[in-house]
Structure formats: structure tokens, C-alpha cells
């Protein structure tokens, strides 16, 4: 393998945008996994598919419509869940299928699948533009800043809502904030791995990191490291072997998880 | 002396049952109140209402003369230790991270170490929370409740399912907090002997308030003790 690929501008953009998305997804994902919302990212991604189709159909930049649809459906599903007492997994299933259904109907109106739709379904990290890269890095910065500012409140309400409430943490507001941030994160990350593989980025590095980490911050940094190395390795390997980056990234992360499980089974990790 | 807590005509009605019926009592600053009563007596409902988790009640609850429905800051004066510290068993957080969650001001970082030392869990500070024994966990959650220097500590039957040695240590910690630091303690318990040893006031609750007063008065009156001991109150409930 030559280092020539590291000289291409598109590769620089892919690696920068990919690293930012990896960090963002692993941080957001850790909160979602611990809140038992592992599949929420998946559901939001599918609903954002409806948004993307809408944007392409209406001639609006599809990511903007995807952000809108994703945030609205996240809030809507939370409200519906509360009001009608539907279980978490069922509400996720509803959200997931409605997004795809809306997307499919809009696509058939606009005369079938286009290349753009495929790139959103399966990711197109090697095609990100300079503008996209700047937007991804900026959004990542903003979301991480919000999480850093409200770190204690978010962590506390993830750990135990009841106790957080007693301590004066505005738990309901924090929950909505998490959901909105997850919606924004998902649409941002769609460009890297696509709608279909998004939850892998949210869940796999965190499931792995939880097995290694002792404390929360430590787990978060381990998860970031796994996510970033999976993304970088995935992009480079896929380019060298001319295979899809999204699939390669996710397979790499799964590989790390499998090795971790092996180490744990062999009794080399402390029990927890 | 100022009333730390003042509860007047507190009534909580659920669709099929009245959980608390016209309960009134006051707790002075520095008091150690033991609340006793059978399961389903409304102890948890009382605590939920005092902690702002249940707002569906009539009557008033005041902390330091301030109605909790009108105060946004009363949480600051209260430390709360739940009955069972519920969390995901594999939650990746260390003991000191959990205690720090209770901390309101970031600048008080030394406070975490101080409180861990005070509760004999400093050596556990880097252990993962899911690896601890029941007694250790209990002290971690007391530490979390104490980290903001609350004036009132509320404990909901916290000695359930903990070994005797831990219970003894826990009692001596409570006693010290109350006598040396002047923290007002409100503690619900099944253990009449322990309440006798520790609390200077007793409240017997079984949906209504049966007795509230000094613990000497309560425990020196055999008839009262017998009448209000858990077994007889349990029976009392069955008859209704």
C-alpha cells in the first residue's frame, strides 16, 4: 500500500469529516445506549430518509430537509410515546417505517431512484465537498460544546432520572435536548455511513468501550478512539481494495467488538 | 428554633386509594426524625411529595418557611438517599463520578474527596459503581446526597438488604451527621430498635399520622409501641 492516497484532497476531506462524525456519534451514542435508546439513531436515520427524498423532490438542499424532518419526528415520537403509552421499541418501529414509507412514496412521484438517493442510503464520505466538511466539523464542535456545558446534568439524568430531578436537574428539558441533538447528529452522520448503517456508529464503539472503561469519561474516550480508528481504517482499507467505505468502517468496528468479547471471555478484562 | 420542614394538611389521592390523609407535622432544625409504618403506609408518597416528584397533592409543604411549589431553590437544602439506588448494572461510572453528579458547583471538587473520606469510601473512588456491595453502594449514595452540604438529609428505608456491619457503620455515620454537623435527618425505617437508638423524634404513619412526638415518649409507652409497632399496624391495615 502506498501513501499516495494520503495526498489526495478528497481523501483529506473524507478523513477530517469522518473523524469529526466518529467523535460526535460515539459521544451521542454513549448517552443513547445507556438510556436504552440504541435503536433511536436508526429510527431517526430512516425518518431522515423521508426528509432527504423530500428535499431532492422539492429542489431544496436535501440535508436541510433531513435535519427538519429528523428533529420533528424525534420530538413527535417522544410526545406520542408519552401521551399514548407506547413502548420504546414499538415507537421506534413506527418512526422507522414511516420515514422509509414517506421517502419511497416521494421518490416514486419524482420518477424513481437517483444516484443521490443511493449516496444517502449507503453513505458517500469520499464525495464530501469542502463546504460539507466545514459544516460537519462546525456542527460537531457546537454539539460537543453543548454536551460539555451541560455534562453533569446530561450524565446525571442518564444515570438516574428520579435522583437527578430531586437534585434540581431539569430532566424533561435535558431529555428533549438529547433527542434534538441526536436528530442533528444522525443527519450529519448520514453522509459518512448512510441511512442503513448509522446505528452501527452509535452503538458498536460504545458497547465495546463499556467493556473496557471503568468510569464514564474513560469509556467515552475509549469509544471515541474506537470510532475514529474504525472510520480512518475503514476509509483507507476501502479505498485500497476498492470496496464500499461505509460497510468497511462498520465491519472494522465489529471486528474490534469481536476481539474485545474474545478478550473478555478469556477472563482478561475485569468483570463488570 | 426555625422549622426545617412544615407539612400541613397533606392529602394525596390516587384514583383507587387515598395514600395520605390530612397529614400535618413539623420538624425542627437539627431534629432526627424516624418515620415508621407498614408497607403501603404512604412513606414513599410522603417523600415523593416532599422531594417534588409528586405534585398531585393538597395541603402545603414548606422547607425553611418556604412553600416548595413557589421555591425553585429548595432542592439545594436537601440531600436524598433513595431506598434502592437504581441504575444500569453495567453503567460505566466510578464512585467519584457518581458522587460528583450530585455536585452543583464545579469548583467544589475537593468536596468530593472530603466526603468520600468522611464516609470511608475514599479507597473505592476509582471503582466502577456496579462492582460494589450493597453497604458500599449505600455509602456512595449518602456521599452523593451530602456533597452539596444540605441542611436536611432524607433517607428512604435505606438499610434494606445490607449486611449488619454496614448497617452499624451507616448508623454511626447518621448519628455523627446529626449531632456533630447539625444536619436535620428524616429517615423512614422498618427497624423500630434502630429508630429508638438514633432518632429523637418519631412519626408513625399509616395513611394518616398516628403519632408524632419525642421518641422517649413513644418508646417509654409500651402500649404505644405495641399499638404502633409494625405488626399491629399491618394487622390494622388488613382489617380495613
Return residues 214-243 of A near B (CB < 8 Å): 214-219
Mean pLDDT of chain B: 86
A243 pLDDT band, cuts 50/70/90, is very high
Q: What is the mean pLDDT of residues B93-101?
A: 94
Q: What is the pLDDT of residues A224-237, one digit of tens each?
A: 999 999 999 999 99
> Which domains are assigned to chain A?
3-196 (1.10.3470.10)
Is the predicted pLDDT of residue A202 greater than 80, yes or no? yes
A168 touching B, CB under 8 A? yes
The ipTM is: 0.87
Q: Do B130 and A167 touch (CB under 8 A)?
A: no
Task: Identify which has the larger pLDDT, A260 or B87.
Answer: A260
Spell out the residues 6+ positions from residue A173 whose beta carbon is closer than 8 angstroms to its own.
none
Q: Do A272 and B130 touch (CB under 8 A)?
A: yes
Is the predicted pLDDT of residue B121 greater than 60, yes or no? yes
Is the predicted pLDDT of residue B125 greater than 90, yes or no? yes
In this prediction, residue B219 carries a pLDDT of: 86
Task: Identify which has the larger pLDDT, A99 or A17.
Answer: A17
A272 pLDDT band, cuts 50/70/90, is very low
> Which domains are assigned to chain B?
3-239 (3.40.50.300)
* Residue B74 backbone phi and psi in degrees, to 5: -65, -25
Q: What is the pLDDT of residues B199-219, one digit of tens each?
A: 999 999 888 888 888 888 888
Task: Identify which has the larger pLDDT, B31 or B225.
Answer: B31
Give the Cα separation of A239 and B148 in Å (integer): 54
> Distances from the Cα of B225 to the Cαs of B27, B72, B215, in angstroms?
21, 39, 10
Among B73, B101, B140, B158, which would you mutate to test the A interface (most chain A Cβ atoms within 10 Å of its Cβ)? B101
B109 touching A, CB under 8 A? no
State the virtual CA torsion across B218, B221, B223, B228 in degrees, nearest 10: 10
Mean pLDDT of chain A: 90
B236 pLDDT band, cuts 50/70/90, is low
**A163 and A156 Cβ atoms separated by less than 8 Å:** yes
**Among partner residues A34, A155, A219, which is closest to B101 by beta-carbon distance?**
A155
Lowest mean pLDDT among A245-249, B95-99, B222-226: B222-226
Chain-centre distance of CA B229, in angstroms?
A: 19
**Among partner residues A159, A166, A270, which is closest to B93 by beta-carbon distance?**
A159
Amino acid at each position: 500500500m502506498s501513501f499516495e492516497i494520503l495526498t489526495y484532497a478528497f481523501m483529506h476531506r473524507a478523513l477530517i469529516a469522518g473523524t469529526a462524525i466518529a467523535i460526535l456519534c460515539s459521544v451521542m451514542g454513549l448517552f443513547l445506549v445507556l438510556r436504552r435508546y440504541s435503536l433511536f439513531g436508526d429510527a431517526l436515520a430512516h425518518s431522515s430518509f423521508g426528509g432527504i427524498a423530500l428535499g431532492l423532490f422539492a429542489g431544496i438542499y436535501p440535508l436541510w430537509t433531513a435535519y427538519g424532518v429528523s428533529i420533528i419526528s424525534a420530538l413527535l415520537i417522544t410526545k406520542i410515546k408519552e401521551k399514548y403509552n407506547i413502548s420504546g421499541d414499538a415507537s421506534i418501529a413506527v418512526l422507522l417505517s414511516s420515514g422509509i414509507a414517506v421517502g419511497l412514496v416521494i421518490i416514486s412521484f419524482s420518477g424513481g431512484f437517483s444516484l443521490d438517493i443511493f449516496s444517502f442510503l449507503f453513505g458517500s464520505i469520499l464525495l464530501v465537498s469542502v463546504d460539507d466538511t466545514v459544516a460537519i466539523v462546525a456542527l460537531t464542535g457546537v454539539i460537543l460544546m453543548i454536551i460539555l456545558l451541560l455534562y453533569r446534568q446530561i450524565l446525571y439524568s442518564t444515570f438516574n432520572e428520579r435522583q437527578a430531578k430531586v437534585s434540581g436537574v431539569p430532566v424533561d428539558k435535558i431529555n428533549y435536548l438529547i433527542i434534538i441533538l441526536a436528530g442533528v447528529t444522525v443527519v450529519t452522520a448520514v453522509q459518512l455511513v448512510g441511512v442503513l448503517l448509522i446505528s452501527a456508529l452509535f452503538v458498536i464503539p460504545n458497547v465495546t468501550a463499556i467493556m473496557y472503561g471503568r468510569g464514564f469519561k474513560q469509556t467515552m474516550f475509549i469509544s471515541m478512539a474506537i470510532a475514529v480508528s474504525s472510520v480512518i481504517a475503514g476509509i483507507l482499507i476501502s479505498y485500497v481494495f476498492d470496496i464500499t467505505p461505509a460497510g468497511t468502517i462498520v465491519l472494522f468496528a465489529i471486528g474490534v467488538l469481536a476481539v474485545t468479547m474474545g478478550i473478555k471471555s478469556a477472563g482478561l478484562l475485569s468483570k463488570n | 428554633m426555625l422549622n426545617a420542614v412544615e407539612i400541613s394538611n397533606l392529602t394525596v389521592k390516587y384514583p383507587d386509594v387515598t395514600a395520605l390523609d390530612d397529614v400535618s407535622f413539623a420538624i425542627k432544625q437539627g431534629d432526627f426524625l424516624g418515620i415508621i409504618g407498614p408497607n403501603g403506609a404512604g412513606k414513599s408518597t410522603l417523600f415523593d411529595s416532599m422531594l417534588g416528584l409528586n405534585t398531585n397533592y393538597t395541603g402545603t409543604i414548606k422547607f425553611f418557611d418556604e412553600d416548595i411549589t413557589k421555591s425553585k431553590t429548595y432542592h439545594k437544602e436537601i440531600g436524598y438517599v433513595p431506598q434502592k439506588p437504581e441504575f444500569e448494572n453495567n453503567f460505566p461510572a466510578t464512585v467519584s463520578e457518581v458522587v460528583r453528579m450530585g455536585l452543583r458547583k464545579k469548583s467544589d471538587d475537593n468536596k468530593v474527596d472530603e466526603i468520600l473520606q468522611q464516609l470511608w469510601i475514599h479507597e473505592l473512588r476509582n471503582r466502577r459503581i456496579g462492582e460494589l456491595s450493597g453497604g458500599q453502594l449505600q455509602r456512595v449514595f449518602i456521599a452523593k446526597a451530602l456533597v452539596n452540604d444540605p441542611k436536611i438529609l432524607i433517607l428512604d428505608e435505606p438499610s434494606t438488604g445490607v449486611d449488619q456491619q454496614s448497617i452499624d457503620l451507616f448508623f454511626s455515620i447518621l448519628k455523627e451527621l446529626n449531632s456533630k454537623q447539625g444536619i436535620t435527618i428524616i429517615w423512614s425505617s422498618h427497624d423500630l430498635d434502630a429508630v429508638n437508638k438514633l432518632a429523637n423524634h418519631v412519626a408513625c404513619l399509616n395513611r394518616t399520622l398516628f403519632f408524632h412526638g419525642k421518641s422517649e415518649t413513644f418508646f417509654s409507652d409500651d402500649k404505644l409501641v405495641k399499638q404502633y409497632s409494625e405488626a399491629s399496624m399491618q394487622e390494622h391495615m388488613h382489617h380495613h
